[in-house]
Amino acid sequence: MAAFWFIIAFMFAGNVGWWLWADRRLRPLPVAPLWRSLLGLFIGLQLAYLVFFFIAPSTARRAHYYVPQDALGVFYLWCLIVLPTTVLLTLLVNGGRWGFRILGGGGKHAGPRLPSGGPPREPKEGHGQEYLPMPPEAQQSAPSLSRRQLLAAATVAIPPLLVGTGVVYGRHSIYDLRVRRVDLAVPQLPYDLNGLTIAHLSDIHVGKFVDERYLRHVREMTNALHADLHLMTGDLIDLAISDLPGALDFVTSLDPKHGLLMCEGNHDLIEDGPAFYSGTRRRGVPLLLDGGKAVRLPGRSSAVRILGLRWGGTGAGSPADEGFSRTVEQLTASKQPEEFPILLAHHPHAFDAAAAAGIPLTLAGHTHGGLLMLSERVGPAALMYRYFSGLYRKSDSHLFVSNGVGSWYPVRVNAQPEIVHFTLRSV
């Protein structure tokens, strides 16, 4: 929580600092009052939302009920990506200038400065070093913006323009849902479960950027797969617990052949974890909290045991610790010999403990495929996570990390949203 408030404070200070910096550069421009007013309005709206979030965070989490998605997209893009990047670049550029001056590249030792109008002209006879004035016709033809003023205007204009472009692009990128088909050979799969199909959904984030229209699209695509099992790996809702009823309407409208189960994610618990638990329980949605459930398919002697991990508590905050490993071991101890185990874990780093325990298949999410990537495999997520998108293997254990269905952020780059459709094959 302390980190959250630190981020809010940084956003506030960054907006104020950038506004003061940009306003100073806009003042010399010919249309300064107009551009300064637009800049003040833009920054004022960002600050107003931040203050609102600070004063009434619970109400701010429901902003998508009364604020257009594009407006929320502008706020998230500006405050979380464009503003920090702009502030950093500004500090680096100015720091470089200051360093250059300190090292002797500027100041009074840098040589005489030329007049602003260019190189000195030849003095008129009898007038010493007096410079001739610019002819009236030349003054009238002079450009209204100097090169420095034009550069200053562009420097101020580019960051907001990037935000606008990102919002337009984001309308497509976060809703460009695909079905990713994975045919997976699993040595431990009993022969009578050969051909088992699973629809894996993760990170739906019902809320500010995922509405009823998109959920209908997801439901239609998922049900059209006619999978044996629908397995969900957390972050059903985004922030507001008031979105849970609609999210559960979506879950109960899914139509697997033989069963649906899910585990929790960190976003499910942000506002009110107990309300999330009671809401899913009342609707009869199987939520696995460090527990398991056997699913028997008609006509098959073997069963599938679905195991689900909590986000909080033992191990979920630090997936590599001994407590987490003990939880996975306890879950596998309850498995019967004829049961094939599948682990649901929101955080993909749970795979280390799962592989050590011999669990053949782990499904995870959380990373959104990296969200903003240079390519599908290159980007910041590769530095943040050991496993962030797609299929991974350790010995005979497999992990699949889904890019997720929804999004808490208004743009995806090289991290397409997806429903993963598995067909498991025995070897």
Q: What is the pLDDT of residues 204-260, one digit of tens each?
A: 999 999 999 999 999 999 999 999 999 999 999 999 999 999 999 999 999 999 999
Residue 15 has pLDDT above 70, yes or no: yes
> What does the block give as tokens for 105?
């590249």
52 versus 118: the higher-pLDDT residue is: 52
175 versus 103: the higher-pLDDT residue is: 175
Contacts 24+ apart (CB under 8 A), 31-40: 35/153, 35/156, 39/156
**Mean pLDDT score, 71-87:** 94
316 versus 359: the higher-pLDDT residue is: 359
d(CA 169, CA 165): 6
pLDDT of residue 148: 78
Residue 54 has pLDDT above 60, yes or no: yes
- Percentage of the chain lying above the pLDDT 70 cut: 85
| pLDDT tens figures, 19-45 | 998 999 888 888 888 889 999 999 999
pLDDT of residue 315: 40
333 versus 167: the higher-pLDDT residue is: 167
Residue 190 has pLDDT above 90, yes or no: yes
105 versus 93: the higher-pLDDT residue is: 93
Residue 359 has pLDDT above 50, yes or no: yes
**Mean pLDDT score, 393-398:** 96
d(CA 223, CA 274): 30
Task: For residue 361, report the phi and psi dihedrals to the nearest 5 degrees.
Answer: -145, 125
d(CA 344, CA 310): 9
pTM for this entry: 0.86
pLDDT of residue 135: 59
- Percentage of the chain lying above the pLDDT 90 cut: 70
pLDDT of residue 119: 54
**Mean pLDDT score, 323-345:** 86
Q: Kindly write down the DSSP assignment for every residue of 376-424, as one continuous string.
A: SS-STHHHH-S--SEEEEETTEEEEE---SS-SSS--BS---EEEEEEE
pLDDT of residue 426: 93
pLDDT of residue 427: 82
**Mean pLDDT score, 82-95:** 85
Confidence of residue 124 (pLDDT cuts 50, 70, 90): low
Regarding the domain with residue range 179-426, which homologous superfamily does it belong to in the CATH classification? Metallo-dependent phosphatases (3.60.21.10)
Residue 326 has pLDDT above 90, yes or no: no
Count CB-CB contacts under 10 A for residue 2: 6
Residue 118 has pLDDT above 70, yes or no: no
**Are the C-beta atoms of 368 and 403 separated by less than 8 Å?**
yes
Read off the amino acid at residue 38. L
> What does the block give as tokens for 251?
């879950």
68-72, 248-252, 315-319: least confidently modelled range = 315-319
User: Is 128 buried (19+), middle (13-18) or exposed (0-12) by CB count in 10 A?
Assistant: exposed
136 versus 88: the higher-pLDDT residue is: 88
- CA atoms 157, 158, 163, 166: torsion sign: positive
